């Protein structure tokens, strides 16, 4: 899953993003996202952070949720919009070109669930800390925060292997896109410290990809 660093390359060509991601993840991300969205129920109000081409948003809308997808990349949003129209799901979806820095404009306790796939690893430490604080505020008590992302392995050997794989990818990605992603350090700890309860954690064998189901505590 370390190849997620190549995401930045794919994002610079949004029309190829979906095909690229499928090849890179050998189709595994589809199952991860199916599992994450299995927690979403019809009629719920859901926010998708860094929705990209809509992989999570479309799944949630298909289940009858009212989804707001936000992203800073307008070309990715255009693809989501096109896919929503093709699937006849536009009535369940609102797409906004906005970054996590603007989450402050969302109403408190207004979402039943927030989802984020492969976006936290694109945020700076400050953006992530700010986002988690805001997400706790805008989620209803008992609301779910569902995350799938690249994380830094804990074990030293896995850390070294991961670093060896990532290093050339970081260089290539930076040369092509002038940006990079960085696996999130201690994500479960950061989430707990932001006031969420962890319901379940699933790590892949390499320890570098996490699926998290977390909850804003009931009052
Ligand atoms: C790797 S893509 C993942 C897209 C989608 N969630 C998926 O899993 O297919 C990460 C997305 O996060 C968006 N993104 C990066 N930084 C962001 C920010 N500060 N606020 C909102 N979206 C952001 C990127 O534009 C990109 O579309």
Nearest CA to ligand 1 atom 23: 50
* Ligand 1 touching residue 123 (CB < 6 A): yes
Residue 29: HSE in the Cβ half-sphere, 13 Å Cα cutoff: 26
**Domain at 73, CATH number:** 3.40.50.150
Number of compact structural domains in the chain: 1
* Ligand 1 touching residue 7 (CB < 6 A): yes
pLDDT of residue 62: 98
Q: Best substitution site from 18, 24, 52 to test ligand 1's pocket, by max atoms within 8 Å of Cβ?
A: 52
Q: CA 170: distance to chain centroid?
A: 20
Per-residue pLDDT of the chain (219 residues; tens, 9 = 90+): 455 566 666 666 666 667 666 666 666 889 999 999 999 999 999 999 999 999 999 999 999 999 999 999 999 999 999 999 999 999 999 999 999 999 999 999 999 999 999 999 989 999 999 999 999 999 999 999 999 998 988 777 777 777 777 777 766 666 665 555 678 999 999 999 999 999 999 999 888 899 999 999 997
The CA distances from residue 129 to 25, 50, 101, 184, 196, in Å, are 28, 16, 11, 12, 13
pLDDT of residue 155: 75
Report which of 149, 122, 139, 152 is spatially closest to residue 196, judged by C-alpha positions: 139
Both structure tokens of 176: 């092509």
Q: Are 64 and 91 in contact (CB under 8 A)?
A: no
Domain limits at 156?
2-215
Q: Best substitution site from 6, 33, 71, 75 to test ligand 1's pocket, by max atoms within 8 Å of Cβ?
A: 71
pLDDT of residue 176: 61
Report which of 50, 46, 78 is spatially closest to residue 59, judged by C-alpha positions: 46
pLDDT of residue 44: 98
pLDDT of residue 161: 77
* Ligand 1 touching residue 51 (CB < 6 A): yes
């Amino acid at each position: 899953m370390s190849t997620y660093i190549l995401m930045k390359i794919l994002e610079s060509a949004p029309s190829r993003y979906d095909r690229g991601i499928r090849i890179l993840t050998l189709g595994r991300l589809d199952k991860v996202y199916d599992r994450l969205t299995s927690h979403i129920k019809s009629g719920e109000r859901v926010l998708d952070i860094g929705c990209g081409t809509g992989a999570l948003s479309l799944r949630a809308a298909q289940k009858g949720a009212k989804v707001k997808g936000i992203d800073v990349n307008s070309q990715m949003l255009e693809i989501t919009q096109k896919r929503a129209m093709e699937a006849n799901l536009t009535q369940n979806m609102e797409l906004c070109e906005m970054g996590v820095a603007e989450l402050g404009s969302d109403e408190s306790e207004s979402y039943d669930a927030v989802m984020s796939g492969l976006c936290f690893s694109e945020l700076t430490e400050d953006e992530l800390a700010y986002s988690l604080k805001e997400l706790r505020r805008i989620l209803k008590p008992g609301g779910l925060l569902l995350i799938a992302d690249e994380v830094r392995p804990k074990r030293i050997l896995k850390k070294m292997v991961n670093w060896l794989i990532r290093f050339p990818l970081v260089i290539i990605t930076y040369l092509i896109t002038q940006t990079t992603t960085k696996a999130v350090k201690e994500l479960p700890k950061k989430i707990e410290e932001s006031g969420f309860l962890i319901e379940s954690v699933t790590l892949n064998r390499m320890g570098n990809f996490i699926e998290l189901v977390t909850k804003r505590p009931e009052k």
